[in-house]
Amino acid sequence: MTKFTDLNLDKKVLKAIADAGYEEPTPIQAGAIPPALEGRDVLGIAQTGTGKTASFTLPMITLLGRGRARARMPRSLVLCPTRELAAQVAENFDTYTKYHKLTKALLIGGVSFKEQDQLIDKGVDVLIATPGRLLDHFERGKLILSDVKIMVVDEADRMLDMGFIPDIEKIFGMTPFTRQTLFFSATMAPEIERITNTFLSNPARIEVARQATSGENIKQNVVMFKGSRRERAATEKRDLLRALIDAEGETLQNGIIFCNRKMDVDIVAKSLSKHGYDAAPIHGDLDQSKRNATLEGFRNGELKILVASDVAARGLDVPSVTHVFNFDVPSHAEDYVHRIGRTGRAGRDGKAIMICEPRDEKNFADVERLIGKDIPRLDNPLGTSSAAPSNEAASPEANETKSAEKPKRTRTRSRRSSDKTEAPKTDTPKVDAEAVTPVQTEAPVDAAAQEAAPEVKEETSPAARETASEPRQDTRTERRDDKRDDNRDDKRASRSRGGRGRGRSRDDDNKVLGLGDHLPSFIAMSFEERREAEGN
Ligand code: AMP
């Protein structure tokens, strides 16, 4: 059995590892650390939970221990697909560099450029970034990557899902050809293979067993569910979710509920809270400080149930999650493996329960094919699926349900209410106030969720994925957030204003639209009269 002391790591790193309580290296660490320390490129095929973060941070710290950072020229670069993952990698660096004097900067959206610029200006040994934010800094001329000696790409498969591969290629091109590359991906899609063939040089390839597929310590179940009527299915599905949670009793200490769409993340979290469950949402559209606070609450045990999208929760390391619920069958089978891998970590027991609707059956078959086994069916705790009683009538969700069932009527009512607002002052203010009750505010959300559902079922093409799935949207959010602080945005805005202005002035020089060459004399007269009046 390999020991950490066999790996040639710096003594101060070994001390920090001992403080962290690690006794022996995990397989990815034992495989990746020696070639990384020799300066070789590494291709690690491993997913989160395998100890892959330490497999690149520990040799990096050992290598960076010799030498110093120069202003604006980081010596190493770690690229992560999401802010949360980047923040987690930064935490890892803090843990393992406790006896070193290495400096680091975290470049992620949602943090002001000014603070990040100041850190970079001073010079950093390790730069941890999401691709969008890194490129923004680079394009503003605040960052020089020509001194990068080690570059890490973490969770490359997720980068691919999020449309970051062109950015990654660009960043590779900005770093020196002589850099060392440590590249990690849970899977090797053809596009990932192509990138590694292009940018890695004779890498040491280390592949470790899939954590979730080999993890016998996660008990997996699925409940086949069909709503009694199409328009009631969403409510009944939430009833079922609560019944499944309740059935776990005391064994459920904390859990993550995954939904395929951000809209459902919000709806499910809100619905659970209304029913008295300790639940909060996390997805890419939420404000970064809110995301951090929710995660922190979940990590330290203050929050029991996290309702999450794949992007927001991917790669997050919460050591003891007792349950994972898949509110939807993920549309990409790989995500099932990542999702259930949030539980049963570090050899603990875990439980993963999924709800499968008839429209999910194809995706469900893909999941079973991928994991190479049948997932045992669980009886619907509310009785037979189609006859599943819904407690909606007496539930705090009654309003929500009502609005979801009658989207058209709600829209009609909203229109009427605005008609009333515009009508001559015959309606009292009270009538208007009633027309915009919170019930109506909620209605379009739920109604839209219902209307959007069939699209997700049919989501197969890349284009459909881009519009319907979380990752692209998260990318855009990342960009949006980044742009908010960005001076380039101002420039772009003024450029586009200038463009439009020029367009307008050209039009102004010409004719009045629709009148051709002929300018009626009464128009000219009115101007002259005004000019005369102004002259007086
Ligand atoms: P990762 O796959 O990098 O997300 O790591 C998953 C978890 O394993 C983290 O909580 C690490 O702190 C922990 N870990 C990493 N290496 C070891 C090790 N050699 N022994 C025990 N735990 C470890």
88 CA closest ligand 1 atom index: 4
| Ligand 1 contact, 338 CB (< 6 A) | no
Ligand 1 centroid distance, CA of 471 (Å): 26
Q: Which residues contact 227 (CB under 8 A, 6 or more apart)?
A: 233, 234, 236, 237, 357, 386, 388
| Ligand 1 contact, 402 CB (< 6 A) | no
22 CA closest ligand 1 atom index: 20
Q: Which residues contact 85 (CB under 8 A, 6 or more apart)?
A: 154, 155, 314, 315, 316
Using only C-alpha atoms, the chain has a radius of gyration, in whole angstroms, of: 28
Measured CA to CA, the distance from residue 156 to residue 187 in angstroms comes to 8
Ligand 1, atom 15, lies closest to the CA of 51
Q: pLDDT by residue for the chain (536 residues), tens digit each?
A: 789 999 999 999 999 999 999 989 999 999 999 999 999 999 999 887 789 999 999 999 999 987 788 888 999 999 999 988 999 999 999 999 999 999 999 999 878 888 889 989 999 999 999 999 999 999 988 899 999 999 999 999 889 888 899 999 999 999 999 999 999 998 888 899 999 999 999 999 999 865 445 456 889 999 999 998 888 999 999 999 999 999 999 999 999 999 999 999 999 999 999 999 999 999 878 887 888 889 889 988 999 999 999 876 766 777 789 999 999 999 888 788 888 888 877 667 899 999 999 999 999 999 998 888 899 999 888 875 543 334 433 344 434 333 333 333 333 233 333 333 333 332 322 322 222 222 222 233 333 333 233 222 222 333 333 233 333 333 433 443 333 332 332 232 233 333 333 333 333 333 334 444 444 444 444 444 444 333 33
Ligand 1 centroid distance, CA of 304 (Å): 23
Ligand 1, atom 21, lies closest to the CA of 22
DSSP secondary structure, 348-373, as one string: --EEEEEEE-GGGHHHHHHHHHHHTS
Ligand 1 centroid distance, CA of 315 (Å): 12
Find out whether 55 and 4 touch, Cβ atoms under 8 Å: no
| Beta strands per DSSP E along 85-236 | 104-107, 126-129, 150-153, 180-185, 204-207, 218-224
Domain range list for the chain: 4-207, 218-396
Measured CA to CA, the distance from residue 234 to residue 257 in angstroms comes to 15
State residue 314's pLDDT score: 67
Ligand 1, atom 14, lies closest to the CA of 51
CB atoms under 10 Å from CB of 386, counted, come to 12
pLDDT tens, 278-299? 999 998 788 878 888 898 899 8
> What's the CATH number for 4-207?
3.40.50.300
Ligand 1 centroid distance, CA of 492 (Å): 44
How does strand 126-129 pair with strand 76-79? parallel
Ligand 1 centroid distance, CA of 57 (Å): 12
Pocket test for ligand 1, best of 26, 57, 96, 210 (most atoms within 8 A of CB): 26
Measured CA to CA, the distance from residue 457 to residue 436 in angstroms comes to 33
| Ligand 1 contact, 342 CB (< 6 A) | no
| Ligand 1 contact, 47 CB (< 6 A) | no
Q: Return the DSSP state at 387.
A: T
Ligand 1, atom 12, lies closest to the CA of 51
**What is the arrangement of strands in the sheet containing 76-79, beginning at the earlier edge strand?**
104-107, 126-129, 76-79, 150-153, 180-185, 42-45, 204-207
Ligand 1 centroid distance, CA of 211 (Å): 13
Q: State how far Cα 150 lies from the chain centre.
A: 26
Topology (CATH) of 218-396:
Rossmann fold (3.40.50)
Ligand 1, atom 19, lies closest to the CA of 25
pLDDT tens, 242-258? 999 999 999 999 999 99
24 CA closest ligand 1 atom index: 19
Measured CA to CA, the distance from residue 185 to residue 45 in angstroms comes to 5
Pocket test for ligand 1, best of 5, 9, 19, 22 (most atoms within 8 A of CB): 22
Residue 319, judged by CB atoms within 10 A of its CB (0-12, 13-18, 19+), counts as: exposed
Ligand 1 centroid distance, CA of 25 (Å): 9
| Ligand 1 contact, 51 CB (< 6 A) | yes
Tell me the C-alpha to C-alpha distance, in Å, between residue 258 and each of 276, 330, 338, 339, 500: 19, 9, 11, 7, 44
CA 147-151-156 angle, to 5 degrees, is: 150
Tell me the C-alpha to C-alpha distance, in Å, between residue 34 and each of 21, 58, 59, 194, 298: 21, 11, 8, 25, 35
Q: State how far Cα 529 lies from the chain centre.
A: 63
Whose CA is closest to 127, among 164, 89, 163? 89
Equal fold, 4-207 vs 218-396: yes
pLDDT tens, 450-490? 323 322 222 233 333 323 333 333 343 344 333 333 233 22
Whose CA is closest to 136, among 491, 496, 470? 491
Q: Say what the pTM is.
A: 0.57
25 CA closest ligand 1 atom index: 19
